[in-house]
Amino acid sequence: MNLHLAAQIISFLAALVLLTAFGMLVQRRMYGLIHLFAWQGLFLSISTALVGFVAGKHHLYISSLLTLTLKVALLPYILHILVQRLRIHKEIETVVNVPTTMLIGIALVIFSYHLTAPVREISTLVTRSILAVALASVMIGLLMMITRKHAVTQIIGFLAMENGLFFAATSATYGMPLVVELGVALDVLIAAFIFGIFFFHIHTTFDSLDVEQMARLKEGD
Amino acid sequence: MSEPIDLAFSAIILLLSAPVIAMLLNRSQHLLITAGFSLAVAASALAVAAGVWTVSNGTANKMILVAGLPDLPFHLRLDPLSGFFVVVIGLLSLFVSIYSIGYAKGFLGQRRITSLVIFYCIFIAGMFMVVLADDALIFLISWEVMAAASYFLVMFEDERIENRRAALLYMVVAHVGAIAILLSFGVMAGLATGFKDFSGYTFDAMRASQFPVEWAAVAFFLAFFGFAAKAGVIPLHVWLPEAHPVAPSNVSALMSGVMLKTAIYGIVRVTFDLIKIFPWWWGAVVLVFGLVSAVMGVLYALMQHDLKRLLAYHSVENIGIILIGIGLAMIFASVKLPLLAALALIAGIYHTLNHAMFKGLLFMGAGAVLHATHERNMEEMGGLIHSMPWTAALFLVGCISISALPPFNGFVSEWLTFQAFLLSPSLPGSLLKLLMPMGAALLALTGALAAACFVKAFGVTFLGHWRGLRKPRVREANWPMRLGMVMTALVCLFLGIMPTLVIEWMDTIPGQLVGSKMGTSAGAFGWMWLTPITHERASYSGIIVFLGILAVVVISYLLLHVKPGTIQRVPIWDCGFEKISERMQYNAASFSMPIRRIFGFLFSIRQRVRPVGNGHSAFPKRIHYSLRIRDRFWGWLYRPVADVSFWVSRKVGRLQQGRIQAYLIYSFVTIIVLLVFSI
Amino acid sequence: MTIAPFIIEVLQFVILLCVAPLFAGWAKMLKCWSQGRTSPGLFQPYRDIVKLFSKDVALAENASWIFRFTPYLVFGSAVLVGGIIPILSTDLPLAATADVIVLVALFAIARFFTALAGMDIGTAFGGMGSSREMMISSLAEPAMLMAIFTISLAAKSTSLSQMVQVIYSGQSLFRPSIAFALLAFILITLAETGRIPVDNPATHLELTMIHEAMILEYSGRHLALMEWAGMMKLFLFVSLGIAAFFPWGIAPAGDLAAIPVAFIFLLLKLCIAGIFLVLIETGLAKMRLFRLTEFLGAAFLLATLGMLSHFILE
Amino acid sequence: MALLILLGVPLFAAAVLAFVGDRKVAPEINILGSAATFIAGIWLAFEVYVRGPMLSGGKSFFVDEFNVYLAVLTSFVSMTTAVFSRRYMRREREHGRVGHVGMRFYHAMFQLFIFAMLLCLLTNNVGILWIAMELATLSTVLLVSLYRTPTAIEAAWKYFILCGVGIAQALFGTVLLYFAAEKVLGEGGDALLWTNLSRVSGSLEPTVLSLAFVFLMVGYGTKVGLVPLHNWLPDAHSEGPTPISAVLSGLLLNIALYALVRCKALVDGSTHTHHAGDIMMGFGLLSIIVAAFSLLRQKDVKRMFSYSSIEHMGIATFAFGLGGPIATYGALLHMLVHSLAKSSIFFTVGHASQMHWSQEMDRIKGLIKGNPLVGWGLMFGVMAIVGMPPFGVFTSEFLILTATIKDAPLWTPLLLLGLGVAFAALFRKVQPMVSGDVPSYQKPMKVAHLPVMLHMALVLVIGIYMPDFLNQWFHKAVALLR
């Protein structure tokens, strides 16, 4: 399996990641969101493994495994449980309407492509073009957090950003040092627990996970 | 004790040890009063000795403390200029501290005076440090320590809301001024060494270096703004009449008497010593500000009926007069007329000394009155000369001095200032020549109005009958207070009749700063005559005037009492007018009515007359008269600033509007913008 | 140092003390004539003073020491001023003691105490008098200084005898600046000495009197001293004007021979001055208090013009 | 060795406290642990003072003049905070605002937080730095929501989300950094070590680094609390328990700024432009102005002081951005004195609000008469924080301002405006609290004297007599950062 082919597959996977990111941006149903997130994780881990294979970085396999367990299995599961526990499988209304969001997302993709152009010039890696996708999905994740007003969706957006970062870390640069990646994974894990706890707190105090109502702390006149 | 500066430094140390003593003696407040203030007395005496010594031998000596930043230890320097101000501060704080021993007893039983003693001593120490400082850091540190200590002293009776408002206003103005001064030092230090290291902050470095004129202007005007804010130059004066009255009287004596002078010191130091070379129009600016402050100050003073407020406004006026002298000195110096510059400078700083004395005396007197009557409103007072003769006599001395009447000290410095004005023809540039006599006229106006104001102040407070409804039992001030005031009064007289000696002594200062001495006894006459330039030009002999008047008075008195003329005490005649009551006397408001009518356009006056009680409106039983006079600058300068900043803060508050999405948008936009700008 | 100057000094004092009432009498007499009344005679002021001296003092109960001290001080300062102004001759030992600024200040301190005395008894009139007096003086003093500064700028000196010598030596004759200054000085003299149109020395009508209101409570020798000092003040202002603007006849330094001549000149000038004064007084009417600002403002304006013309035209 | 103890103790203590839970001894253990940490810190500082910068633990830890003083500061403030929180939290507990779970949680997380911060400071690895930073966030998030009130949870949520997002940006920046570094240093762990990066910073790719700096700036800037990324800060400070507010604004902000400055040093080394500096100056100035004006309209005392933290972080950031020996020196000093003064202010404020059971400034009155230590402590603390001499903050602001008017005179008016407004606002608010008579509802209480006195004494000493070793460290750090 030659380098060129691998590179093509990887970029195809990148495209898929981007696609799932967009999917999350527009998805209205909670379960759909979670599934999309899981899919993204899957693509991520595959591409990580592939990069590891191509570049002969065996520690990347570990991180791909981590991704698999964390972002494909564990987190979606936790979210699933939460959603069931807290009985929130209603339609999620967005702040901005969908087409606008889409347009902004596309603009972001173009922007990040333009942004990473100089970097692409200087890099010699096969996977250099992935940086643009990673940045784009980070941005889209952020955009998603902005446009959604539900705690869970915000968290999913957050995790999507995380995915983008991870994508950049593993694929774009043939992987950060292992310590770093383990640490990142650990942080994500802790974060997962914390937001898990949070959902319950929020739900018990506000008896809904709508973040709109958490706007009491402000500089009121 | 090898050198004067050691004396001065030990004085500072002594003062800074006050907190410890206060903590130790906190239990027994009686003892604390005596101990604390006698400590201040001792320290002040030391400092005065050091100052007199330095000025008279006219050399500078330095000291470097092992404190501050290791690369920028505190530099102290005692040269004639700072020596002179050490004397000014020390002399008054000496007298006031004696006075305070008696005054603070008034607080016993009402409140603990521990904090008073502590901050009082730190305050004096701060003032000494300011004039001794020889690098920017220690200067500003002592400057702010002084400000903070005085702030706490103003806050001493902090349950009163007016004290808090005044203290806050004072603190804010002082701090903004301090930042301005800091920036001006920043300019000079930066130009001195370019900030490769810390050496640029020393005054020596600034002295050594030569500034480009536009940066020098920046530095000067920043410094002038800062010091003017402290000195209460109009229009930055508004804090002053608020803060000085509410402080304890011994403190207001020090604040008005000497704290303002540290600002004068700063101006002189920065201008003549650090910058050295400047165009004439700087002097013109200073002169104009001085004139405005002098005239406006005295006019506002005339409108007051709160005794201490009135005195505070007079501080504005006198600062103006001092600035006139300094401005003239700057003008003369900038056109290379060192002799005349020396004359003007002497006029300025001599008035500094004088004002310290008589203003201190007046505030002490006011304090004694307050102490005895618990009343600051003159409209309530009257006839106190009978119940407190000492205070009355001493206060009168203060009034005469501040009204610039011979033979007391206020007149001498004003006379010198007039002489400086009359030397304007020797200036180049016809415009200056033309304008300066106008300044002289304004100065004359100021003097005359001041006299009017103090006729009012003394007359309404001490003469006539008690105007208030219920007359309190008034007792004469106790001995320490009297002693303090008597000493101050004697110094006032001495400065008035022996100017030559004093000026001989302080003549080293212009020698150091403008490179020429004034030479008190030019021409033919001896030590008795003060003859600035030549004896044809002008001459004044305070002592002869004093003795002359005294002689005629005594002689005529004796002549008239060769035959024992009887004096019968009779009821008041008053044109045979029947049953006059105390309420019919002229009071402060009515006394100043004519002048208020004339200069009314300068004030924002609200005057209401309405009939009270039943009866036909044309023939009311009683009439209620209310008069409110406000400082126009409040509305012109301070209120707008406050309003604008609150408006802005309302707008800024919108940023924090609670919805997390908005916050996310902020960071999102921030990233985008930064990225756009950095590629 | 010769004895001559001291003799002249003493002579000046004597002249001051004696001639001042005479001049006041002369003014009164002229005034009576101008109003078609028979005059009490030239020496009436002396009689008044003597009479008052011989009377007892009726002192208000609550009068303080200030009230009793003031007459002596006022008298003393007036006398001292008399020793400074070159009435007869320019070399006076006391001349160096005080220049023209001090002279103004001496009048000021007298006024200061008079005003205090006015407030001491605590009557409405006293306060009113002091208030008005201080208001007028605070406007008159700057004008006066401006007028005098005009001359002293010309003379490059503020010492009176020096100024006299310079003007006398003729190098500053008939200058526009001097003329303006003279006009201003006349107005100020009227104001400072409490003549019509500013104040009416003859009135005791409550609401119009100013100087009288302050000394209302005085009696006996105190009143005598006050009156006498008042006459001296008038005399001094006139002779100051003479010295500053018409110094001819004043004996130069050192020759005693010129003294009698100087004395004759003085009397002549005084007669003329008196006539002039009376002409003004009969010509004008007492002004309302708050129109005085315009009057004194005019004086200030004239003085300023004088100074400007000194710089511009000369 | 000292280093390992320094890092190990808090971790161990955290574990222990997690087990001890809400026993009576827990606070004492807490104090003990942080005291041990502090001693280790002193020891480390001594070693560095004697031997100069050192690598240890392989290459994974690195101590130089820049981070050693921050490490000592961190351990010191954590110790005093532990002392303070003993009384404070006990009272909260008695008053029933926290349950025993909460207490267990509080102590454990406190130590974990300290560990995270120390790790941030001492690690030699950009990646580890990032991880530790995230850890610090996560460990405090639940402390902010300790009281379980709606507002507390809201604040914690905002803190969590905003800082999470920010930190994510920082990670992206780090990735880019690595991306650039591996070209030069080859792949593998060495490419993320400070020591190597700073060695080769000249040859790193400028475009990538300037790109990376943007993300690092936004990321760590969020934690520094720079406007407009600051919005989490006032909420978190006002709603969390006071000891946490103290360490948050006393320490965490410093740490984040430290990370930012390190990155700036790298970027400058690569780009040789003043670009990064300009960005930091802009952020700093914006923070100063916005914070100053927000100060004017505060009602909640802790919220107000959190805004003043924003302002001071702005000053330090501005100064670092300005660069140059004097300004950088001032900035380093400013980080030190600000954290001392600010945490002591929070101590006094905590006591004051417990005395009145309210954080509303309208209700807090007559502190000086009520409890001189709290009153004067707050007064002097505020005077220190607004930059009145002889306290150390004045010295640093003095250096920064003078340097500014020399190097960037056009910025000074804004700076002047900000400082002036902040001064007026703080005094206007604090004066009524300390002065006046004691209100009826004020309850006298026992307060922890030591922390406040210690902090104020230190600030004072630094102001009037700065010890020489500190001076030398600052100079070395300045040399390091230019």
For the segment B217-248, what is each residue's pLDDT rounded down to a tens digit?
999 999 999 999 999 998 888 899 989 989 99
How far is residue B631's CA from residue D116's CA, in Å, rounded to a whole number? Answer: 58
By Cβ distance, the residue of B386, B548, B565 closest to C57 is B565
Chain A contact for D425 (CB, 8 A cutoff):
no
What length does chain C have? 314
By Cβ distance, the residue of B430, B545, B598 closest to C311 is B430
Picking from B574, B581, B584, B587 by the largest number of C CB atoms within 10 A of its own CB, the best residue to mutate is B574
Q: Write the pLDDT tens digit of every residue in B416-429.
A: 999 888 887 778 77
Test A165 with D151 for CB contact under 8 angstroms.
no
Nearest residue on chain D to B673, alpha-carbon basis: D214
ipTM of the complex: 0.90
Test D135 with A214 for CB contact under 8 angstroms.
no
Chain D contact for B559 (CB, 8 A cutoff):
no
- Which residues in chain B touch residue C159, judged by CB atoms under 8 angstroms apart? 535-539
Q: What is the DSSP letter of C55?
A: S
Q: Write the pLDDT tens digit of every residue in C84-136.
A: 888 888 878 888 788 889 999 999 999 999 999 999 988 888 888 999 999 99
Looking at CA atoms only, how far is residue B412 from chain C in angstroms? 10
By Cβ distance, the residue of A118, A147, A211 closest to B660 is A211
By Cβ distance, the residue of D160, D171, D234 closest to A165 is D171
* Per-residue confidence band for B656, with pLDDT thresholds at 50, 70 and 90: confident
How far is residue B542's CA from residue D109's CA, in Å, rounded to a whole number? Answer: 81
Other C-beta atoms lying within 10 Å of the C-beta of residue B1: 11
* Per-residue confidence band for B523, with pLDDT thresholds at 50, 70 and 90: very low
Test A177 with D142 for CB contact under 8 angstroms.
no
DSSP for D298-362, written as a single string:
--BHHHHHHHHHHHHHHHHHHHHHH-SHHHHHHHHHHHHHHHHHHHHHHHHHHHHHHHHT--BTT
By Cβ distance, the residue of D218, D297, D463 closest to B667 is D218
Looking at CA atoms only, how far is residue B264 from chain D in angstroms? 21
Looking at CA atoms only, how far is residue D174 from chain B in angstroms? 15
Q: Write the pLDDT tens digit of every residue in A83-128.
A: 888 777 666 666 677 788 888 989 999 988 888 887 777 776 767 7
By Cβ distance, the residue of D169, D325, D464 closest to B68 is D464
What is the distance in angstroms between the CA of the first residue and the CA of the last residue of chain D? 30
Chain B contact for D412 (CB, 8 A cutoff):
yes
Chain B contact for C204 (CB, 8 A cutoff):
yes
Test B451 with C108 for CB contact under 8 angstroms.
yes
Q: Write the pLDDT tens digit of every residue in B604-633.
A: 888 888 877 776 767 777 778 888 888 888
Query: Considering the entire predicted model, what is its pTM?
Result: 0.92
Contacts (Cβ under 8 Å, ≥6 apart) of A156: A24, A33, A34, A37, A79, A144
Across B469-492, average pLDDT: 90
* Per-residue confidence band for A201, with pLDDT thresholds at 50, 70 and 90: confident
Q: Write the pLDDT tens digit of every residue in B253-280.
A: 999 999 999 999 999 999 999 988 889 8
Test B187 with D406 for CB contact under 8 angstroms.
yes
Window 201-260 of D: residues touching B by CB (8 A cutoff) are 207, 210-211, 213-215, 217-218, 222, 227-229, 231-232, 234
Nearest residue on chain A to B664, alpha-carbon basis: A146
Residue B676, pLDDT score:
87
| Mean confidence (pLDDT) of chain A | 84
Structure tokens at D126: 């950009």
By Cβ distance, the residue of B147, B653, B674 closest to D218 is B674
Rounded to a whole number of angstroms, the CA Rg of chain C reads 19
Does residue B449 register a pLDDT over 80? Answer: yes
Per-domain residue ranges of chain B: 1-210, 279-562, 592-630, 634-678
Q: Write the pLDDT tens digit of every residue in C38-70.
A: 888 888 999 999 999 888 888 888 889 999 999
Residue B12, pLDDT score:
93
Chain A contact for D299 (CB, 8 A cutoff):
no
Q: Do chains C and B touch (3 or more CB pairs under 8 A)?
A: yes
Work out the angle at residue B270's Cα, subtended by the Cα atoms of residues B269 and B271, and round it to the nearest 5 degrees: 95
Chain D contact for B171 (CB, 8 A cutoff):
yes
Q: Write the pLDDT tens digit of every residue in B379-408.
A: 888 889 999 999 999 999 999 999 999 889
Interfacial residues of A (vs B; Cβ cutoff 8 Å): 95, 111, 115, 118, 139, 142-143, 145-147, 149, 154, 211-212, 214-219, 221
Looking at CA atoms only, how far is residue B168 from chain A in angstroms? 24
Determine contact, residues B574/C125, Cβ cutoff 8 Å.
Answer: yes
Does residue C183 register a pLDDT over 80? Answer: yes
What is the distance in angstroms between the CA of the first residue and the CA of the last residue of chain A? 67
Chain A contact for D157 (CB, 8 A cutoff):
yes
Does residue C209 register a pLDDT over 90? Answer: no
Q: Write the pLDDT tens digit of every residue in B530-563.
A: 877 777 778 888 888 899 889 988 998 888 887 7
Q: Do chains C and A touch (3 or more CB pairs under 8 A)?
A: no
User: Which segment of A119-123, A199-203, B505-509, D415-419 scores lowest on mean pLDDT?
Assistant: A119-123
How far is Cα of residue B620 from the mean position of the Cα atoms in its chain? 46
In the predicted model, residues of chain D with pLDDT beneath 70 are 188-189
Between helices A30-55 and A59-67, what is the axis angle to 10°? 170
- Tell me whether residue D468 is exposed, middle or buried, using C-beta atoms within 10 angstroms of its C-beta: 0 to 12, 13 to 18, 19 or more: exposed
Q: Do chains C and D touch (3 or more CB pairs under 8 A)?
A: no
> Tokens 């640490």 — which residue?
A183
Give SS3 for B273. Answer: helix
DSSP for A104-135, written as a single string:
HHHHHHHHHHHHHHHHHHH---GGGGHHHHHH
Nearest residue on chain B to D274, alpha-carbon basis: B678
Test B434 with C308 for CB contact under 8 angstroms.
yes
Per-domain residue ranges of chain A: 3-210
Nearest residue on chain D to A210, alpha-carbon basis: D154
- Which residues in chain A touch residue D134, judged by CB atoms under 8 angstroms apart? 187, 191
Regarding predicted confidence, which is higher, A201 or D71? D71
Looking at CA atoms only, how far is residue D233 from chain A in angstroms? 11
Window 126-155 of D: residues touching A by CB (8 A cutoff) are 127-128, 130-131, 134-135, 138, 141-142, 145, 148-151, 153-155
Determine contact, residues B180/B226, Cβ cutoff 8 Å.
Answer: yes
Across B453-474, average pLDDT: 88
- Which residues in chain C touch residue B449, judged by CB atoms under 8 angstroms apart? 138
Window 229-288 of C: residues touching B by CB (8 A cutoff) are none
By Cβ distance, the residue of D394, D406, D466 closest to B141 is D394
Test B415 with C102 for CB contact under 8 angstroms.
yes
Residue B266, pLDDT score:
95
- Which residues in chain B touch residue A101, judged by CB atoms under 8 angstroms apart? none
How far is residue B330's CA from residue C129's CA, in Å, rounded to a whole number? Answer: 43
Test A219 with B653 for CB contact under 8 angstroms.
yes
Test B176 with D165 for CB contact under 8 angstroms.
no
Picking from A146, A198, A221 by the largest number of B CB atoms within 10 A of its own CB, the best residue to mutate is A146
- Which residues in chain A touch residue D192, judged by CB atoms under 8 angstroms apart? 176-177, 180
User: Which segment of B29-33, B51-55, B449-453, C204-208 scores lowest on mean pLDDT?
Assistant: C204-208
Does residue C178 register a pLDDT over 50? Answer: yes
Helix-strand-coil percent breakdown of chain B, rounded to 5?
70, 5, 20
Nearest residue on chain A to B657, alpha-carbon basis: A218
D23: phi > 0 → left, psi -120 to 50 → alpha, else beta; which?
beta
Test B186 with D403 for CB contact under 8 angstroms.
yes
How far is residue D357's CA from residue C266's CA, in Å, rounded to a whole number? Answer: 91
Chain A contact for D22 (CB, 8 A cutoff):
no
- Which residues in chain C touch residue B576, judged by CB atoms under 8 angstroms apart? none
